[in-house]
Amino acid sequence: MLRHVWLLTVALGIAFAQNYKGLSLSTPYPAQTVRIDKSITLPLTVKSYGLPPQTVTLRITTIPDGWKATLLGNGRPIEAVFLEPDGTAEVSLKLEPPANATPGTYRFAVEAIGNGARSTLPITLTLGEVLPPQLNLEVELPVLKGTPTTNFRYRATLKNESDQDLLVNLEALAPEGFQVSFKPAFGSQEVTSLPVKAGESRRLDIEVDLPPQVPADTYTVRVRASAGEATAEVPLTLEVTGRPRISLSTPEGRLSGRATAGQETPIKLVVRNQGTAPAREVKLTAFEPSGWEVSFEPKEIPEIPPGETVEVTAKIKPSTRSLAGDYMVTLRASGEGVSDSVDFRVTVLTSTSWGIIGVGLIAVALGVVGFSVARFGRR
């Protein structure tokens, strides 16, 4: 039974709304509180329901002493609007209090008059102290995780919870070396302040770039928005996991040396971890010419802490059949997620070469002796 009554009531309401003919005059907030020293502009909507085309006169029928009220259309004073059947017109009502206005409640009335139809809109304004300017700053994901090379980007919403337009300054308190920038959401231009209208919100991106060698740890960046006495602050958390980065070279940085065919020659190497996390299970390998032998001591390094260096000896043995000349040996260090390699040039000297050099030296010596005897022997 109750359900039937409810359905009948709804049906009658819909039918009444559909059959209504006349004028409607409305504003979203007909009763509100404003600052005592501030004028206010209210949006008004005039609508025709089932009426023929006509001019609708607008007038202010009630206004307190000393107040100034003006009806505006497109910024100009007006006294009437024209409405098509079921048409709508948007106008504004500007209300200005007198200089000696005191706190209290003030009532106004605006009337729309057409051909055989009219509508009256009562308005109530309360002058007094309103809430002070207030800001609210919220971050969607305040905790992010990454490596020192990660671009930490936070999406934030800045809301002006007051009746005044504000120019909001943006600043950040971050660890040394951290770079913090602010950009309007989906924009590329960096800003240090944002205009935010009364009661509205602005979305922005907060980006944090880290120094490349920052240690793995949890860091906090405090972001602050301020406009006069209104402030809002939010902490951002960065969980930096760290990342190893190794380099392979010789102690002096020289990547060339000599070796004798068929003989083992030791080459000193250094493996450095220039990253921010330990480099683990680093193995040494080589790509050498055919017939050559290359071994390492040690051939595997369990762990290299950040900033540390480990010395390794590479033992290079050219093939006994190698001809004298320059050869390239690729040395490589690789671990969990990291690697580095260098090309080491080896100049090979063969035993035949040394024999020829020896014979040459002997010939030179004999020549010198013969020359001396020939020149000075007769004296």
Q: Domain locations in the chain?
A: 23-127, 135-240, 246-352
Phi, psi torsion values for 358, nearest 5 degrees: -65, -45
Third-level CATH fold of 135-240: Immunoglobulin-like (2.60.40)
pLDDT, one tens digit per residue, over 74-121 is 999 999 999 999 999 999 999 999 988 888 999 999 999 999 899 999
What pLDDT does 14 receive?
Answer: 46
Domain 246-352's class?
mainly beta
Query: Rounded distance, CA 330 to CA 348, Å?
Result: 16
Percentage of the chain lying above the pLDDT 70 cut: 87
pLDDT, one tens digit per residue, over 136-179 is 999 999 999 998 888 999 999 999 988 788 999 999 999 999 99
pLDDT, one tens digit per residue, over 14-60 is 444 467 899 999 999 999 988 777 789 999 999 999 999 999 999 99
Average pLDDT, the chain: 88
Same fold, 135-240 and 246-352: yes
Q: Is 152 exposed, middle or buried (0-12, 13-18, 19+ CB in 10 A)?
A: buried
11 band by pLDDT with thresholds 50, 70 and 90? very low
DSSP secondary structure, 160-194, as one string: E-SSS-EEEEEEEE--TT-EEEEEETT----BSEE
pLDDT, one tens digit per residue, over 12-23 is 444 444 678 999
Checking if the pLDDT of 325 tops 90, the result is yes
Query: Rounded distance, CA 224 to CA 103, Å?
Result: 35
What pLDDT does 118 receive?
Answer: 93
CATH number of the structural domain 23-127: 2.60.40.10
pTM above 0.75, yes or no: no
What pLDDT does 215 receive?
Answer: 84
What pLDDT does 10 receive?
Answer: 42
Element (H, E) at 365: helix 351-376
Q: Which one, of 142, 140, 118, 141, lies nearest residue 58 by Cα?
A: 118
Q: Which DSSP symbol is given to 251?
A: T
Q: Provide CB contacts within 8 A for 232, sequence distance 6+.
A: 135, 136, 137, 158, 224, 225, 226
